[in-house]
Chains A and B, each alone.
Chain A
Amino acid sequence: MHIKNKINNPLVKTMSEPDVLKTLQDASLDVLTCMQCGTCSGSCPSGRYTSLNTRRIIRKARKNSDMLHDDDLWMCATCYNCQERCPRGIKIVDAILMIRTIAVHEGIMLPAHRKISELVLKHGHAVPINDATKEKRKDLGLEELPETVHKYPEALADVKKLLESCGFDKLVVKKQE
């Protein structure tokens, strides 16, 4: 009976499952003080058009129930309205970003975001230059390539080395088992 209770208790996580609540607590993101007032959801510009329900994300985090697969996580535009207005001072956006981090480290990443990550790995820019912009630059009397990694191959090599040192290359190809 005792053991069974433990198994049913969602707060007791198995070894392989990431403990979202604990990770948040460790980063001083205290979601347990949430009183479910809904100020966050009511302030959310994304929630008007998407299924994002900020209050529900925080509720799930409090209960430590699985939320890593929730599409809602990726609908937050990080406008910080909720965080500014939360009467309990909960760092809601920081919490959402942290939950995203846990998801990504589990191999959960939207295809579009994987693509942007690949662009940074390859070019050092999330939005690399294209031919149309090169033309515009010339029309403006600017150099064809800007003073960024685009112009300095050794700088790009440094960026690649850094990304590798952080294991970002491996993180991007990691897919959920």
Chain B
Amino acid sequence: MKKLSLFLGCIIPNRYPGIEKATYLCLEKLGIDCSDLPGASCCPAPGVFRSFDKSTWLALASRNIVLSEELERDVLTICNGCYGSLIDANNELKENAALKKSTNTHLEKIGKKYNGSADVRHIVELLYDEFGPEKIKEMVTTPLNLRVALHYGCHLVKPSKERQLGSVERPMFFDELVESTGAESVDYPDKMACCGAGGGVRSALLEKSLEMANHKFSRIQDAGVDCIVNACPFCHLQLDGGQAEVKEKFGLEYNIPVLHYTQLLGLAFGFSPEELGIDLNVIKNDEFLAKLKELAEN
């Protein structure tokens, strides 16, 4: 595996730093050589910037990739949005010489040049590819006896032509990684449905976006789970903070804890909920925290 640099994006460092911390702890435990990526910016967010102006999207995305090229490292993302934005931009620039040339005329002005020498990875596909569920399972010290509602998030697997991660209607790889922690990935209707945050919908049409999230919450509640697991801070924000907004706007209360996969894995590696920032979520569920404590003690 090539050395990596960690691309943080916006929401993780600036809203859910627990996920950042959990990522550092897991990477260290796994012995993955991953450096910081100093000076990185917004990926930029695919839903809005990509649809506003292609040259701006490519310029900003390529600058982030170039920072990693300069370190001779591949880019590691921990967000479906950053992954989608950076991998799509990277592929377009690698394949299209004219686009590469025009993007480089912008980068020239800040003394940078895009070469196309770095790849973009997402932590979930990376762990599946480079380690595999079996190897992860062997490293687990605190098996998690939890029922999990897994939310893949759209841009991890779609568009499938670009991602090449197998079935988009019923993928399994992420479930296997969840189960390698000892948890059970519970099937539920509309599991692959969108959380409703993407495409600039959450920012511009909050209520409509929450109706989509609420649909997921109701399905997940019916399935009877301990927590939701995702691999994207924007889904995380929508699923965690969104529950408080759904309560306020529609008067519906779910109180389902939400974990990024790195936080789930961190628990299975023996780190405490506080070390992983799980207690910093909007949703505070004491029953869940007590259960985690019990699991850690056994």
- The interface stretch among B6-14, B115-123, B177-185 is B6-14
Indicate if A127 sits at the interface (CB-CB under 8 A): yes
- The interface stretch among A8-16, A59-67, A136-144 is A136-144
Per-residue interface assignment for chain A, residues 64 to 84, with 1 indicating a CB less than 8 Å from any chain B CB and 0 otherwise: 000000000011111111011
Residues in A neighbouring B169, C-beta threshold 8 A: 84
Indicate if B128 sits at the interface (CB-CB under 8 A): no
Closest B residue to A96 by beta carbon equals B51
Residues in B neighbouring A77, C-beta threshold 8 A: 47, 154, 194, 196-199, 201, 209, 212
Cα of A150 to Cα of B13 in the assembled complex, Å? 10
Indicate if A159 sits at the interface (CB-CB under 8 A): yes
Question: In the complex, how many angstroms separate the beta carbon of A143 from the nearest chain B beta carbon?
Answer: 10
Indicate if B69 sits at the interface (CB-CB under 8 A): no
CB contact under 8 A between A133 and B198, given known A79-B154, A126-B48: no
Taking a contact as CB atoms under 8 Å apart, the answer to whether B46 and A48 are in contact is no
Indicate if B60 sits at the interface (CB-CB under 8 A): yes
- The interface stretch among B31-39, B129-137, B143-151, B288-296 is B31-39
CB contact under 8 A between A147 and B37, given known A78-B199, A136-B280: yes
Taking a contact as CB atoms under 8 Å apart, the answer to whether A125 and B47 are in contact is no
Taking a contact as CB atoms under 8 Å apart, the answer to whether B14 and A125 are in contact is yes
Chain B contact-residue range equals: 35 or more
Indicate if B158 sits at the interface (CB-CB under 8 A): yes
Indicate if A130 sits at the interface (CB-CB under 8 A): yes
Cα of A24 to Cα of B81 in the assembled complex, Å? 24
Indicate if A25 sits at the interface (CB-CB under 8 A): no
Residues of B29-72 whose CB lies within 8 A of A = 36-42, 44-56, 59-60, 63
Indicate if A161 sits at the interface (CB-CB under 8 A): yes
Residues in B neighbouring A104, C-beta threshold 8 A: 51-53
Cα of A158 to Cα of B38 in the assembled complex, Å? 13
Residues in A neighbouring B201, C-beta threshold 8 A: 46, 74-77
Taking a contact as CB atoms under 8 Å apart, the answer to whether B203 and A141 are in contact is no
Closest B residue to A76 by beta carbon equals B199
Query: Which among A77, A156, A161, A163 has the greatest number of chain B C-beta atoms within 10 A?
Result: A77
Closest A residue to B46 by beta carbon equals A78
Indicate if B3 sits at the interface (CB-CB under 8 A): no
Taking a contact as CB atoms under 8 Å apart, the answer to whether A113 and B40 are in contact is no
Indicate if A6 sits at the interface (CB-CB under 8 A): no
CB < 8 Å neighbour of B38 from A83, A98, A141, A152: A152
Question: In the complex, how many angstroms separate the beta carbon of B217 from the nearest chain A beta carbon?
Answer: 14
CB < 8 Å neighbour of B203 from A45, A101, A113, A159: A113
Taking a contact as CB atoms under 8 Å apart, the answer to whether B39 and A161 are in contact is no
CB < 8 Å neighbour of B159 from A83, A115, A148: A83
Taking a contact as CB atoms under 8 Å apart, the answer to whether B198 and A117 are in contact is no
Cα of A147 to Cα of B36 in the assembled complex, Å? 7
CB < 8 Å neighbour of A45 from B13, B42, B160, B193: B193
Give the A-binding residues of B (Cβ under 8 A).
Answer: 8, 10-11, 13-15, 17-18, 20-21, 36-42, 44-56, 59-60, 63, 106-107, 109-110, 112, 154-155, 158-160, 168-169, 193-194, 196-201, 203-205, 208-209, 211-212, 215, 275, 277, 280
A-B contact pairs, 28 of them (CB 8 A): A46-B196, A77-B47, A77-B198, A77-B212, A80-B154, A83-B159, A84-B158, A101-B51, A101-B52, A104-B53, A117-B49, A120-B41, A126-B45, A136-B18, A137-B17, A140-B20, A142-B21, A146-B8, A146-B17, A148-B13, A148-B39, A155-B38, A156-B41, A158-B63, A162-B110, A165-B106, A166-B59, A168-B53
